[in-house]
Structure 1
């Protein structure tokens, strides 16, 4: 795919553009929707071959593959009146918006693929879940960090629910930092240490020869500090609460 269009240039849209230009790759033309003028102007000024279109119809007309990354509450307005020819491929990265609803709005028989690109795609360091599998879309995301096609929309929604835990992880780290500051540690020192601590955790996750349970066990000693926090704070009650929250989110996404 040599011509990529993006409608909705928020965090994910910016990350995809950055990933496409990762390592100086300028072989793909990118066409951006005009909404979000600051972000689109910045990207078009920074990268060769990135252009801001006059409207969303021009994005579609100029592109072979169109990525729709509009916020869930705005997508119908953003796509109202937009026509999509049958030679296009549309990638839906909007959480909670199914392809059936999107197809009815577009009133087109084009291939529609749902995808879950994450912000780390900007560094080509995250796998993108897609459904249904499509050779062109698979190839596109594979070069941006990896692709994971799934068998059906129910499986896709499970992976979508998992992404809902990201900001909780950041809030967890912020709570650790605040606790340390409350014990008299300088906030900047607490922040630096917590970031370093969990960057190490992130690196250990690249070892796919060990399961997540094994990694946890390998970082614990019997009756040690890690075991104490895991068993007294992340106990069965909290584990069940997390599972219940994910179950509720899955129902919301379906």
Structure 2
């Protein structure tokens, strides 16, 4: 069982990880947070007795047996500059578009590096998390949070990463439905309540993995009915192709080296063992 987990970058994903690891857990791990996102980190430490805000990122790295790096891609050099990570640490990289090769250059460490795509639903311990490569420590961590889905290579990992870029479009789609209803005289609160209920039911249906997604769509459609009409007239071949093209462009960007890829000048001594 993991006992000491460090998180550098306490945004939405960092917050969700802490909730999944600690909420309602009889014996949660010790969690060490970076001072980045000070307000959120302080709030989490106040709520959970096993969560501590460290003085700096180096203290997080020194105390953790598993180190999660969850800063934004553009902030990676500022956040990780000079960071010493012991070879015995397992580093979980959740930065979209930052490859294992680049992160190893930045950290200059022999530690195990694993890429992962945790989603906000890890807070309820019901989200499948894509990982590459499969690693017993990372797999065990995400199995506790809803399940680990190891993939064979970074090319496959990037495809899953691109898929996560569709999440807020789904929320915006639902918001557009409520706006349309309000424009036709429905009270905004009523429209919001109905749309949430409508798609909350879809979420439950998705738990039925005995049927493919296309089969689920067919099973919820009556030939010539309302659902078929909207699907075939609005989400027809042209829109499906546009969505595919958008994802292709995103995938290409994810596979490009990030801007300002820096190499550390000269070798340095290996760090000592992680602090207990």
Q: TM class by shorter-chain length?
A: over 0.9
Q: 1:36 offset after TM fit, Å? A: 1.0
Corresponding residue of 1:174 = 175
Q: Aligned runs of 1:16-95 on 2, under 5 Å?
A: 16-95=17-96
1:186 equivalent in alignment to 2:191: no
What is the aligned residue count? 254
Q: 1:197 offset after TM fit, Å? A: 0.2
Q: 1:119 offset after TM fit, Å? A: 0.2
What SS does structure 2 have at the residue aligned with 1:156? helix
Give the TM-score of the pair, scaled to structure 1: 0.99
Q: 1:56 offset after TM fit, Å? A: 0.2
Distance 2:25 2:136 in 1: 25
Corresponding residue of 1:226 = 227
Deviations 1:123-145 (A, max 9, x none): 00110000011011101110111
Distance 1:24 1:101 in 2: 35
Q: Aligned runs of 1:152-171 on 2, under 5 Å?
A: 152-171=153-172
Deviations 1:19-53 (A, max 9, x none): 00132333300000011111000000000110000
What SS does structure 1 have at the residue aligned with 2:73? coil
Give the TM-score of the pair, scaled to structure 2: 0.91
Deviates further, 23-32 or 162-171: 23-32
- CA distance 1:101–1:70, shift in 2 (3 Å): same
RMSD (Å) for aligned C-alpha atoms = 0.7
Distance 2:26 2:216 in 1: 36
Corresponding residue of 2:273 = none
Deviations 1:94-126 (A, max 9, x none): 011111111101011110000000000000011
What SS does structure 2 have at the residue aligned with 1:103? helix
Distance 1:175 1:159 in 2: 26
User: What stretches of structure 1 of length at least 5 have no aligned partner?
Assistant: none
1:118 equivalent in alignment to 2:119: yes
Contact 1:31–1:59 (Cα < 8 Å) also in 2: yes
Corresponding residue of 1:205 = 206
